[in-house]
């Protein structure tokens, strides 16, 4: 079976693209500046016309807040803003990106992002105990700048205790079930949702039911097994290559995988179905029946990470996160039957990313250097609007918003709640649901793979910001115990204090109208502390604070 016609990768030049991407790590990294310029040029050639009105380049203050939130998931301090604005260097934007990518918070921010990508689609809550291990593991990988291809291969081939090996997260999230695991591996790493083919041929794409089950045949020998000891509760992802007759307990609650994967017979569900040979649906590369689990997953990891769609899926997702709109939308439903905006631009950037050796930091530097990234933000366009004429404001993820609040109020992260019967928080496991950050996540979190236009504010979020005891305490003017208390004592005038609060929350100075309105408000009460508590609270609850512009 031929899963797709030859040459169906974003149009022209498929043979060149495949050859280039498959041998990417043999070449030197493409220059950042030249790559960014070429991407902008290709977008302009394919998307814009003479009459296209582009948003102007964003101000230095807004750019700084944007790259801080995008790269390290936090806002800059007033000192950082002032220093950046006063810096006369022409390359200061490029420099700040490089510096932020060196920060440990860079890895942590994007580790939390991918943790949410994986766990928001989990089958059951027990899988949440892998949340902290996967965040820790990915933080290290991103900060060490390991190639995305190597990181992905670790996830595909992983096994072991899910508390100790964060790379087991996808298997754990899907309870190591064959079909579900295969579907998520394709969605996350290739951006292709082939799971529609479990029961029938894809209704819109050319994928066939057999192709899905051939892909699933790379993962049948896996299972999730509980670990229960007097001191430990966990699960482990295990692979079993032993025939059924040699297994010690064949009735152990389906905690062992199967030797081969069978496509169910829809006309006779009780029948064993058709035994499927492991075959990769994008290239028809295959393994023989009876291949060991390690052989299957190692082979499919190689085939997936060498395929052009692997680079495109990552590039498209990161472009969408940084620019506000992907070349393909939705970001996890791409493939040869989809038509992207600016096909030559996404093809070129994907090929260049592969040529860089799947260097994630390199890709961030390129995207942040493009004109597309550095344009002012505008509301999301209508369906018939022109893409990439502006950056698009993004609602902050819960971790970003939590970090921004802590920075604005100059507060350390609160300690986690203690567990039941006095047990420490780490003994509770789970998604860290006993921590203050995780409680915040339960209200403000959303699936990063969902289209941003579907992410809306809720009443619980408004109540949490208005009535949250920790936030209300942090913005109080209590002598020098809080940042506002210290600022009230140190600021010689209301005008300077208003400017400081704007810098602290929105990373910019107030406009003339905003300053005038704030100073007029200061005159409405003789209680200076109460006035500035209200102003501080209003800024923290503003839409501008909760969005990346």
Q: What's the domain count of the chain? A: 3
Q: List the single range of 83-87, 395-399, 414-418 with lowest mean pLDDT.
A: 414-418
How high is the pLDDT of residue 497? 96
384 and 484 co-located in one domain: no
379 and 253 co-located in one domain: no
From 283, 304, 325, the end of a domain falls on: 304
Domain range spanning residue 22?
Answer: 14-56+307-395
Contact at 8 Å (CB) between 305 and 250?
Answer: no
Alpha-helical regions (H) of 26-77: 32-47, 60-72
275 and 345 co-located in one domain: no
Provide the pLDDT confidence category of residue 256 given band limits of 50, 70 and 90: confident
314 and 463 co-located in one domain: no
Looking from the CA of 297 toward its CB, the CA atoms found within 13 Å total 23
**65 within a domain of the structure (yes/no):** no
**Concatenated DSSP letters of 477-520:** --TTTSHHHHHHHH-SSHHHHHHHHHHHHHSSPPPHHHHHHHHH
Q: Which residues contact 508 (CB under 8 A, 6 or more apart)?
A: 59, 61, 62, 65, 81, 502
379 and 415 co-located in one domain: no
pTM: 0.90
244 and 328 co-located in one domain: no
Distance CA 238, CA 73 (A): 35
**93 within a domain of the structure (yes/no):** no
From 373, 395, 417, the end of a domain falls on: 395
**504 within a domain of the structure (yes/no):** yes
500 and 363 co-located in one domain: no
> Tens of pLDDT along 63-106?
999 999 999 999 999 999 999 999 999 999 999 999 999 999 99
Q: Which residues contact 452 (CB under 8 A, 6 or more apart)?
A: 324, 380, 392, 394, 395
How high is the pLDDT of residue 403? 97
**123 within a domain of the structure (yes/no):** yes
50 and 186 co-located in one domain: no
Contact at 8 Å (CB) between 263 and 271?
Answer: no
pLDDT of residue 266 exceeding 60: yes
Distance CA 98, CA 92 (A): 10
412 and 383 co-located in one domain: no
Looking from the CA of 489 toward its CB, the CA atoms found within 13 Å total 9
How high is the pLDDT of residue 417? 47
Spell out a b/e string for 350-368, using b for 16 or more CB atoms within 10 Å of the CB, else e.
bbbbbbbbbbbbbbbbbbb
**8 within a domain of the structure (yes/no):** no
How high is the pLDDT of residue 245? 56
Q: Which residue from 440, 454, 528 is spatially nearest to 491, judged by alpha carbons?
A: 528
Q: Which residue from 37, 34, 32 is spatially nearest to 372, judged by alpha carbons?
A: 37
> Tens of pLDDT along 344-386?
999 999 999 999 999 999 999 999 999 999 999 999 999 889 9
246 and 344 co-located in one domain: no
User: What is the H or E stretch that residue 78 is in?
Assistant: helix 78-86
295 and 183 co-located in one domain: yes
> Tens of pLDDT along 111-146?
999 999 999 999 988 899 999 999 999 999 999 999
């Amino acid at each position: 079976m031929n899963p797709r016609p030859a040459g169906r990768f974003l149009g022209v030049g498929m043979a060149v693209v495949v050859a280039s991407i498959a041998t990417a790590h043999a070449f030197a990294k493409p220059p950042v500046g030249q790559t960014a310029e070429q991407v902008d040029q290709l977008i302009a050639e394919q998307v814009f016309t003479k009459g296209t009105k582009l948003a102007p380049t964003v101000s230095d203050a807004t750019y700084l807040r944007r790259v801080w939130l995008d790269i390290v998931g936090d806002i800059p301090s007033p000192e950082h803003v002032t220093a950046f604005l006063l810096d006369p260097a022409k390359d200061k934007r490029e420099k700040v990106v490089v510096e932020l990518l060196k920060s440990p918070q860079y890895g942590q921010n994007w580790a939390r992002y991918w943790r949410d990508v994986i766990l928001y689609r989990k089958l059951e809550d027990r899988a949440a105990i892998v949340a902290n291990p996967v965040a820790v593991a990915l933080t290290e990988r991103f900060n060490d700048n390991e190639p995305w291809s190597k990181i992905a291969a670790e996830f595909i081939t992983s096994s072991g205790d899910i508390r100790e090996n964060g790379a087991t997260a996808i298997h754990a999230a899907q309870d190591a079930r064959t079909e579900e695991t295969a579907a998520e591996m394709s969605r996350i790493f290739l951006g292709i949702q082939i799971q529609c083919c479990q029961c029938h041929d894809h209704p819109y794409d050319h994928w066939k039911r057999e192709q899905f089950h051939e892909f699933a045949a790379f993962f049948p020998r896996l299972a999730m097994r509980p670990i229960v000891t007097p001191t430990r509760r966990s699960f482990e992802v295990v692979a079993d290559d032993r025939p059924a007759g040699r297994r010690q307990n064949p009735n152990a609650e389906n905690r062992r995988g199967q030797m081969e994967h069978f496509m169910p017979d829809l006309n006779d569900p009780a029948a064993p179905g058709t035994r499927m040979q492991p075959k990769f649906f994008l290239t028809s590369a295959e393994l023989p029946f009876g291949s060991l689990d390690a052989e299957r997953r190692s082979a499919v990891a190689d085939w997936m990470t060498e395929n052009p769609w692997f680079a495109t899926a990552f590039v498209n997702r990161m472009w969408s996160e940084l620019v506000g709109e992907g070349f393909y939308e939705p970001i996890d439903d791409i493939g040869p039957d989809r038509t992207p905006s600016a096909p030559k631009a996404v093809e070129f950037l994907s090929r260049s990313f592969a040529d860089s050796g799947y260097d994630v930091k390199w890709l961030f530097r390129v995207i942040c250097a493009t004109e597309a990234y550095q344009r002012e933000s505008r509301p999301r366009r209508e369906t018939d609007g022109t893409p990439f004429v502006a950056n698009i404001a993004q609602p902050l993820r819960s971790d970003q918003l939590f970090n921004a609040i802590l920075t604005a109020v100059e507060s350390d992260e609160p300690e986690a709640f203690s567990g039941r019967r006095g047990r420490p928080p780490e003994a509770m496991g789970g998604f860290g649901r006993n921590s203050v950050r995780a409680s915040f996540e339960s209200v403000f979190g959303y699936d990063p793979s969902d289209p941003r236009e579907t992410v809306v504010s809720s009443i619980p979020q408004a109540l949490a910001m208005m009535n949250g005891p920790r936030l209300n305490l942090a913005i109080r003017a209590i002598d020098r115990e809080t940042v506002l208390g210290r600022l009230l004592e140190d600021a010689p005038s209301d005008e300077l204090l208003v400017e400081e609060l704007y810098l602290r929350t929105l990373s910019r100075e107030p406009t003339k109208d905003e300053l005038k309105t704030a100073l007029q408000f200061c005159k409405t009460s003789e209680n200076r502390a109460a006035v500035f508590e209200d102003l501080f609270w209003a800024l923290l609850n503003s839409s501008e604070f909760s969005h990346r512009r």
